[in-house]
Amino acid sequence: MSRNTLKIIHFAGTVWFMLCTVYVFILAMWQAGFNWLVIFSLSGYLALLTTLLVNLYLYALFRNMDKGPNLEKEHPLTSSGYYLVFYMSAPFLGVFAGAYSTFGEAKIVPFLTGISLGTLAVTFLTWVIVDSVVSILEMLTPESREYRLKRLAADKHRLEEQRLEREESLKRLFAQQEKEQHRWEKTLAAEAVKLAELLAAKAVDFEQAEQEAVRIGVHAWQTGGLDCMRRLRDTAMRINKEKYRNFAVTDYISNWWDGIGSWRMSATR
C-alpha cells in the first residue's frame, strides 16, 4: 500500500475520530441537562480546538512518514506496512468493536453511542498505549540502536559542517568589509583631512564650510554608503583632535550631512 493511500486512510480515520469525540461530548452535555444553546456553543469551541490539535498531529506524523528509508531502518516495526495499516485504521476498528457491543440494539442513539465510544476506546488504546509500548520495545533492539547512533552522528556532523560554513561566510564577509574600509581610507584620505579643517573653520566661514562638507558627504555616500560616511566622519574628528589639540570638538559633520542618502543626524550620534 502506497504512502499516499495510508495518508488518506489516516486522515479519514482522524476525521471520524473527531466526529465521534464531538458526538460523545454533545451527548454527555445533553444527558447532564444543558440546553441546546449552551451545548452548541461549547461544541463549536471543542471542534475548533480539536481540529487545531489534530492538524498539528497529522503534520508531525506525515512529515515523519516522508523520511522514508532512514525511518524504516530505525523503526522497522512501526514503519512497516502491516503496522501502519493497523495503526491508521484504529478508528474504523473501533466502529466494529462498538457495533459488536450494541449488536441487536434497535434504537439509533444507543447504537451511535456504542460505535462512538468504541472508536474512542480503540483509538486511544492503539495510538497512545500500544504504539508507545511497541516504539519503546523496538528502540531497544540492537539494530535500531545502531541506526539511531549512526543517525545522531550524521546529524552532528551535518550541524558541524553548517557551523563551519557559517563561520567561513562570516570570515569572508569581515575580510571584504575590512578591504572596503581600507579602500575608503585610501580614497578619502585627503577629504578626511579637509573635513577636519572644516571643523576648525571660523564662524564667518561656516556657510562655505558646510557647502564643502556636503560635497564630501555626497562623495562618501556614493563611494560606500552609510558605513563609509561614518568612517569618514570618525576619521575627520580624530584628525581634528590630533592636529588642533581640540579634544572637545563639536560634531558639526552630523548636522551638515543630515539628509544625504540614509544619513540621519539623530541616528548617527
pLDDT band at residue 62 under the 50/70/90 scheme: low
Average pLDDT value over all residues in the chain: 77
Q: What is the pLDDT of residue 24?
A: 82
Over the stretch 80-110, which tens digit does the pLDDT of each residue have?
Answer: 778 888 888 888 888 888 888 777 666 787 8
What is the C-alpha separation between 256 and 254, in angstroms, rounded?
6
Mean pLDDT of 10-39: 75
Residue written as grid cell 444507543: 110
- What percentage of the chain reaches a pLDDT higher than 90? 2
> Are the C-beta atoms of residues 9 and 89 closer than 8 Å to each other?
yes
CA dist 99 to 13, 24, 30, 31, 225, Å? 16, 15, 22, 22, 76
What is the C-alpha separation between 180 and 231, in angstroms, rounded?
11
What pTM does this model have? 0.47
pLDDT over 50 at 266, yes or no: no
CA dist 239 to 156, 182, 235, 254, Å? 51, 17, 6, 16
> Are the C-beta atoms of residues 149 and 196 closer than 8 Å to each other?
no
pLDDT over 60 at 26, yes or no: yes
pLDDT over 80 at 192, yes or no: yes
Residue type for 95, please? Answer: V
Mean pLDDT of 70-78: 69
Tell me: do 124 and 56 sit in the same domain.
Answer: yes
Q: Which residues span the domain enclosing 250? A: 188-267
Does 117 fall in a domain? yes
Mean pLDDT of 158-181: 86
Closest CA to 3 of 76, 73, 88, 60: 88
What is the C-alpha separation between 260 and 216, in angstroms, rounded?
10
Tell me: do 14 and 128 sit in the same domain.
Answer: yes
Mean pLDDT of 233-262: 81
pLDDT band at residue 114 under the 50/70/90 scheme: confident
Does 44 fall in a domain? yes
Tell me: do 135 and 59 sit in the same domain.
Answer: yes
SS (H, E, C) 159-226: HHHHHHHHHHHHHHHHHHHHHHHHHHHHHCHHHHHHHHHHHCCCHHHHHHHHHHHHHHHHHHHHHHHH
Does 26 fall in a domain? yes
pLDDT band at residue 71 under the 50/70/90 scheme: low
pLDDT over 50 at 201, yes or no: yes
Q: What is the pLDDT of residue 53?
A: 62
Among residues 106, 140, 174, which one ends one of the domains? 140
Pick left, alpha or beta for residue 80 (phi over 0 → left; psi -120 to 50 → alpha; otherwise beta). beta
Q: What is the pLDDT of residue 72?
A: 67
pLDDT over 60 at 113, yes or no: yes
Mean pLDDT of 228-251: 80
Does 209 fall in a domain? yes
Among residues 140, 159, 179, which one ends one of the domains? 140
pLDDT band at residue 251 under the 50/70/90 scheme: confident
Mean pLDDT of 232-248: 80
Does 247 fall in a domain? yes
What is the C-alpha separation between 233 and 220, in angstroms, rounded?
10
Query: Helices 3-31 and 81-88: crossing angle, nearest 10°?
Result: 20
pLDDT over 70 at 164, yes or no: yes
User: How many structural domains is the chain composed of?
Assistant: 2
> Are the C-beta atoms of residues 226 and 262 closer than 8 Å to each other?
yes
Residues 6+ apart with CB under 8 A from 78: 84, 87, 131, 134, 135, 138
